[in-house]
Structure 1
Amino acid sequence: MIPVYSVAQIRAVEAQEISKRGEASLMKQAAAELASTAATMLAEKPGTEPAFVIALIGPGNNGGDGLYALAQLQEQGISTLALQFGDQVHAEAATAYQSAGGTLTDYSDGQSELANASLVIDALYGLGYRTGSPLPTLPAHSRVLACDVPSGLHPDTGVAEDNVLRAERTVTFGAMKSGLLTVDAPLVTGEITIAGLGFDFSAVAPETQLVDEAAAQELLDEHRSWRDAGRHKYQRGVLGLIAGSDLYPGAAQLTAKAAVNCGVGLLRTHVPDSVRPLVAVSVPESVPLDDQQIKEALSSSRRHLHGKGAKISAWAIGPGLDGRTPPTGAIAEVFASRQPAVIDASGLEVVPTGPSEQPRVLTPHAKELRMLLGRAGVKVTPDEIAQDPIRWTRWAALAYNAVVLLKGPTSYIVAPNGSSLVVTHSSPQLATAGSGDVLTGILGYLLSDGSLTGTQGMRTVPNRRIMELSACAAIIHGHLGRVTAQDGTVSASRLIDNLPKVMKHFGF
């Protein structure tokens, strides 16, 4: 996992490194990473004309990084141009660039050349950007490589200006910054490369940790064993689904299909009588579950809490429930159990606040998080949630004694003790009806499989593992969105159709 730090933390460590190694040495090292990434981007999409790289040069160290990077590209035989955007530039870096044969000119004089650029390096502000600072206008479809932080993106808050310089790729220095993950940032940073530059963060506690695909794969493999190949269906995970209503019959079917296509050992479905025939036809692998059977399953699970012998090893609650018609009393008994559960949609309206022995994860979007906080007596506005999502997700985790996964372009996973994980992806196509039901099915399956939770017998699943599997589910969901978008528009049904091959990609 990748540690994430605030801008203040980054600046403090950077100052220490400058005092030890010198500003010029550090700047040239950063420039080398920037130049290397630029060369890679040019090689990925070679044009018919010789490569031509333009850098937008700001007045501070960010501009110095850009000039040193252009000098290195110039020495590699790549044609370059530096456009000065402001009254001054870093003098030593400008001298090095011009000594390498490069041309430095005022932005107003060379602006027309931007239309001919194979790649534009944004080296304007970096961490020094302040809201309202002047920004240039680039030609449509410009390929942009951002130096540290895209210009127009506030490095602390992640709020972007309307005319932000949207990057195809960002090389950020020192460590991952929280402002690159929040609010608008995932929509403007493109692919992020972290150039650590040997910064020493050993004495600094990160604000959170970012889970990427590589980390998710390690987390999924943590408890897997060669013996898994010999398991029967009850050992591969039995998921109990409480979902659906006369008003929303489709949500139950989507969640059920998603769980089955993930590879759950057995799916038991508790749905209204009117929905049962629909589920039987659309998900014939599922087995109905009535109130009495829920009681029997919970009784069995009290003896064999999770894994071997458990009739149901985890629950998924909420998709398609009608808030105007509360579900049967069986749901309260599930909430009182010690089996892991993922609770989504209308299930969030009935999950109890306060202490609980059940290891559970709540999966609200921002509006639902506000509702959860309101139920717990905490008043908050949508803007406040957007500006500080981890803070308000922590409040909800504490109020409900549950892991909370706040869904969005960046997903925040927070435990009652305040620890957190972050997942970010660029898959806006996932913002479609039923997508959350698919995520519930994925996470429900992960929580049901003892080889993934690492728990057997009478042990409960610890919150840390609930957090990790929630992050893995968000990673799988994001990857699923990107795969599905490759060959057409995205719908929940198409996501579900692609689940088997995506699960195989993650080793299932």
Structure 2
Amino acid sequence: MIPVYSLAQVRSVEAQEISRRSDTALMKQAASALAAEAVDMLGEQPVAPGTLVVGLIGPGNNGGDGLYALSQLEDQGYATAALQCASSVHSEALSVYESAGGRIQPLSKGTETLSKATLIIDALYGLGYRSGAELPLIPRNSRVLACDLPSGLDPETGVADDKVLLAERTVTFGAMKSGLLTGDGPLATGDITVVPLDFDFTGQAPQTNLVDKQAALELLDAHRSWRDAGRHKYQRGVLGLIAGSSLYPGAAQLTARAAVNCGIGLLRTHVPEDVAALLAVAVPETVPLDDDQIREALSSARRYVHGRGAKISAWAIGPGLDSRTPPTGAIAEVFASRQPAVIDASGLELVPAGPSEQPRVLTPHAKELRMLLRRAGVTVTIEEIAAAPIRWTRWAALAYNAVVLLKGPTNYIVAPDGSSLVVSHTAPQLATAGSGDVLTGILGYLLSDSSLTGVNGVQTVSNRRMMELAACAAVIHGEAGRAAAACGTVNASRLIELLPGVMKRFGF
């Protein structure tokens, strides 16, 4: 996992490192990483004719990073150009660049140069950006590599200027900054590479931790064994799904199809009669579950809470329910159990606040989080949630004694003890109808499989593991979104179709 620090923390550590190693040494080290990323983006060995890398050079050390990177690209045979975007630039770095054969010209005379750029390196402001600072106009659809962070993005709040230089990739130095993950950050930064530069963050507690694809693989592998290949369907996870209504018949189908395409051992479904026929056609692998069978499964759970021996090992509740006429009896009994559950959509209007023995993950978006907080006696606006997402998600986690996954461009996962994880830089196209139902199916499967939760019998799944698996589900969901976006537009059904291939990449 990647620790995430505040701007103040990064500035403090950076100042210590400059005093210890000099800013020139750090700039050259940062420039090497920036140049390497540029070469990777160009993907051209040997250098293709007509390739031109243009650096937008600002004042101070960020501009110095850019000039040193351009120098290294010149040494590797790339054609480069530097556009001076401030009254002065880093003199030593400029001297090195010119000695390497580079040329610099004022931005005002660089319109034609920008139009010919194969790749633009944004080395304007870095952490020094302040709202309202002048930003250049670049050609539409330019490929941009941001140095530390995109110019026009506030490094602390994640609020972006309307003219922000949208990056395809960002190379950020020292540590992951919270502003890259908050607000507009995920929409402006593209893919992020963190270059630690050997910064010493000893004594600095990270604000949270980012779960990327590699971290998700490690978390998923924590309890998996080669012996899992010999399990029968009941040992591979049995998920009980309570969902659907005549008003929203499609949501239950989406969640069910997602769980099945993830590879669940067995899916049991409790849906209204008029939805059951549709579900049987859409997902013939499912097995119906009536009220008496729910009670039987819950009775069995007193001896086998989870894993081997449990008739149902986890629950998914909420997608497509009509909150005006919910199956309250069955849901109330499940809520009183000690089996893990993911609760989404209309299920969030039914989950009780206060103490609970059930390990739960609530998956609201911002509007639903506001509703949950209001039910718990806390009044907050959508704007306040956007400005401090971890704070308000933590309030909900405490109020409902549950892990809460706040959905959005960045997913914030917070446990009742205040610990948190984030998953970011998924496809923005995931904001589409039914996408959350697919996430519920993915997480329901992960919670049902004892080889992933690491518990069996009367043990309950810890909130820490619930939080980790929620983050893994968000990463898988994001990977499916990216795969779908690479092929065209994104919809929930397309995500489900791609899930088997995505799951295979995660070791399933």
Using the size of structure 1 for normalisation, the TM-score is 0.98
Distance (whole Å) between structure 2 residues aligned to residue 104 and residue 284 of structure 1? 66
Letter in 2 for 1:407: K
Aligned residue in 2 for 1:390:
390
Aligned-residue identity in percent = 74
Q: Establish whether residue 61 from structure 1 lines up as the match of residue 86 from structure 2.
A: no
Aligned residue in 1 for 2:405:
405
Q: Establish whether residue 342 from structure 1 lines up as the match of residue 342 from structure 2.
A: yes
Cα distance change, pair 30–486 in 1 and its aligned pair in 2 (3 A): closer
Distance (whole Å) between structure 2 residues aligned to residue 275 and residue 266 of structure 1? 19
| Alpha-carbon offset, residue 41 of structure 1 | 1.8
Distance (whole Å) between structure 1 residues aligned to residue 280 and residue 129 of structure 2? 57
Deviations 1:412-437 (A, max 9, x none): 11101111111112412212111111
Letter in 1 for 2:37: T
Aligned residue in 1 for 2:364:
364
Aligned residue in 2 for 1:422:
422
Distance (whole Å) between structure 1 residues aligned to residue 443 and residue 146 of structure 2? 35
Aligned residue in 1 for 2:499:
499
Aligned residue in 2 for 1:146:
146
Does the 8 A contact of 2:158 with 2:181 survive in 1?
yes
Cα distance change, pair 62–306 in 1 and its aligned pair in 2 (3 A): same
Aligned residue in 2 for 1:191:
191
Deviations 1:228-279 (A, max 9, x none): 1121111111111110111111111111111111111111111112212222
Aligned residue in 1 for 2:36:
36
Letter in 2 for 1:150: P
Give the match's secondary structure for 2:133.
coil
Cα distance change, pair 68–48 in 1 and its aligned pair in 2 (3 A): closer
Does the 8 A contact of 2:423 with 2:471 survive in 1?
yes
Aligned residue in 2 for 1:101:
101
Give the match's secondary structure for 2:374.
helix
Does the 8 A contact of 1:47 with 1:118 survive in 2?
no
Task: List aligned pairs for 1:70-85, cutoff 5 A.
Answer: 70-85=70-85
Aligned residue in 1 for 2:267:
267
Give the match's secondary structure for 1:154.
coil
Letter in 2 for 1:373: L
Task: List aligned pairs for 1:194-213, cutoff 5 A.
Answer: 194-213=194-213
Distance (whole Å) between structure 2 residues aligned to residue 147 and residue 483 of structure 1? 26
Q: Establish whether residue 485 from structure 1 lines up as the match of residue 485 from structure 2.
A: yes
Deviates more, 1:48-57 or 1:243-252: 48-57
Aligned residue in 1 for 2:326:
326
Deviates more, 1:318-327 or 1:450-459: 318-327
Deviations 1:305-350 (A, max 9, x none): 1111101100000000101113231111110100000000000001
Aligned residue in 2 for 1:19:
19
Does the 8 A contact of 2:47 with 2:77 survive in 1?
no
Distance (whole Å) between structure 2 residues aligned to residue 57 and residue 422 of structure 1? 32
Aligned residue in 2 for 1:87:
87
Cα distance change, pair 18–119 in 1 and its aligned pair in 2 (3 A): same
Aligned residue in 1 for 2:443:
443
Give the match's secondary structure for 1:127.
helix
Distance (whole Å) between structure 2 residues aligned to residue 358 and residue 442 of structure 1? 19
Aligned residue in 2 for 1:180:
180
Does the 8 A contact of 2:47 with 2:78 survive in 1?
no
Distance (whole Å) between structure 2 residues aligned to residue 190 and residue 134 of structure 1? 22
Does the 8 A contact of 2:190 with 2:425 survive in 1?
no
Does the 8 A contact of 2:191 with 2:425 survive in 1?
no
Letter in 2 for 1:12: S
Deviates more, 1:366-375 or 1:33-42: 33-42
Cα distance change, pair 191–38 in 1 and its aligned pair in 2 (3 A): same
Deviates more, 1:425-434 or 1:123-132: 425-434
Does the 8 A contact of 1:187 with 1:426 survive in 2?
no
Task: List aligned pairs for 1:305-324, cutoff 5 A.
Answer: 305-324=305-324
Does the 8 A contact of 2:154 with 2:179 survive in 1?
yes
Size of the alignment, in residue pairs? 508
Give the match's secondary structure for 1:329.
helix
Give the match's secondary structure for 1:312.
coil
Letter in 1 for 2:246: D
Q: Structure 2, unaligned stretches of length 5 or more? A: none
Give the match's secondary structure for 2:481.
helix
Deviations 1:154-194 (A, max 9, x none): 10111111110011111100011111111111111111111
Does the 8 A contact of 2:426 with 2:479 survive in 1?
no
| Alpha-carbon offset, residue 47 of structure 1 | 8.3
Letter in 2 for 1:103: R
Letter in 2 for 1:187: L
Distance (whole Å) between structure 2 residues aligned to residue 390 and residue 29 of structure 1? 33
Distance (whole Å) between structure 2 residues aligned to residue 29 and residue 7 of structure 1? 21
Distance (whole Å) between structure 1 residues aligned to residue 277 and residue 111 of structure 2? 65
Aligned residue in 1 for 2:433:
433
| Alpha-carbon offset, residue 48 of structure 1 | 5.7
Distance (whole Å) between structure 1 residues aligned to residue 175 and residue 354 of structure 2? 37
Does the 8 A contact of 2:238 with 2:265 survive in 1?
yes
Letter in 2 for 1:308: R
Aligned residue in 1 for 2:218:
218
Using the size of structure 2 for normalisation, the TM-score is 0.98
Cα distance change, pair 209–473 in 1 and its aligned pair in 2 (3 A): same
Give the match's secondary structure for 1:105.
strand
| Alpha-carbon offset, residue 486 of structure 1 | 3.0
Does the 8 A contact of 2:253 with 2:283 survive in 1?
yes
| Alpha-carbon offset, residue 45 of structure 1 | 9.7
| Alpha-carbon offset, residue 46 of structure 1 | 8.6
Aligned residue in 2 for 1:251:
251
Cα distance change, pair 222–172 in 1 and its aligned pair in 2 (3 A): same
Distance (whole Å) between structure 1 residues aligned to residue 90 and residue 489 of structure 2? 47
Give the match's secondary structure for 1:351.
coil
Give the match's secondary structure for 1:101.
coil
Deviates more, 1:367-376 or 1:339-348: 367-376
Q: Structure 1, unaligned stretches of length 5 or more? A: none
Cα distance change, pair 473–363 in 1 and its aligned pair in 2 (3 A): same
Deviations 1:39-65 (A, max 9, x none): 222225998633222111111111111
Q: Establish whether residue 351 from structure 1 lines up as the match of residue 321 from structure 2.
A: no
Deviations 1:365-419 (A, max 9, x none): 1111111111111111111111111111111111111000111111111101111
| Alpha-carbon offset, residue 443 of structure 1 | 0.4
